[in-house]
Amino acid sequence: MSRPLRLGAVAYLNARPLVFGLESTEGSAGGAAAADPAIAIRFDVPSVCAQLLADGAIDLGLVPSISYLEGSATHVVPDVSISSAGPVASVALFTRRPLAEIRTMALDTSSRTSAALTRILCARRFDVSPSFVPHAPDLAGMLAACDAALLIGDPALFVDHRAHGAEKIDLGEAWTDLTGLPFVWAFWAGREDAVDAKGIARLQAARDAGVAASAAIADAYCVGDPPRQALARRYLRENIRYGLGDEALRGLQTFYREAAALGIVKGNSGVKFYGPWALGPGA
């Protein structure tokens, strides 16, 4: 019997619809578990997913989009992503100062994509040039150390920023205001021979089922906390998108070009999908 397809998923609410029906109820951060015997899943923060893929510990990772340009993954699963068009709610800057007065910024170490987007928006949208300081995702500690903080995922979605006396600046909204395009946060990626057509179809079917069950997913994720359940429902319904169509791909390539222009990445080789699809760097 061949070994199962090893998936590295993100341990945030926004990834749950993409693994709906694949993972067991016992799956947890750092642990491998799956309801589908042909699939093994582990859950980690985005940066760890990318590292596991580079190390060969997983076959496909739900990786931050910027990490694709680093070469550990050569191919992307078509038409599946975590993306947004407008406010994303779970990637944001938090600050107690006006933007123009920000001199230091703590960057959540969980995802390089959000850190790269922050650098782009500081240069192209906010017109500030702060010093960037890597920091664990702890808003109180970040704001004690710096003028502003980038926070991603569940910590950004569920934090009560008003209790910290901070303003929340949504980076998905800022990106779409700047470019008119969606932002692609993450997608399934791996090496060329990592997954076959059957595996791709299984991942796309899981996405469809998960989107259809988003309310139930939100309620289970935040069980026992009705206010969080309501927020989680709105988030999955209104903020997050799970396809990877033409507009999202234009947003992705714009992000790659902006990152290359600022020297955040060394180049932009385009995107190659499993199957007969490819998107060149000038697309």
Strand 104-108 relative to strand 131-135, pairing = parallel
Residue 202 phi/psi, 5-degree rounding, is -65, -40
More confident residue, 267 or 141: 141
pLDDT digits (tens, 9 = 90+) for 6-16: 999 989 999 99
Q: What is the pLDDT of residue 31?
A: 42
Strand 75-76 relative to strand 104-108, pairing = unpaired
Identify which of 68, 179, 63 has the alpha carbon closest to the alpha carbon of residue 121: 179
Output the six-digit token pair for 221. 């994720």
Residue 94 phi/psi, 5-degree rounding, is -125, 130
More confident residue, 30 or 36: 36
Q: What is the pLDDT of residue 1?
A: 43
Judged by phi (left if over 0) then psi (alpha if -120 to 50, else beta), residue 180 lies in left
pTM score, two decimals? Answer: 0.91
pLDDT digits (tens, 9 = 90+) for 262-283: 999 887 767 899 985 544 444 4
Q: Binning pLDDT at 50, 70 and 90, where does residue 35 land? A: low
Query: Which residue in the block uniquely carries the two structure tokens 């991942």?
Result: 203
pLDDT digits (tens, 9 = 90+) for 207-233: 999 999 999 999 999 999 999 999 999
Domains located in the chain, CATH noted: 5-82+183-251+265-279 (3.40.190.10), 91-179 (3.40.190.10)
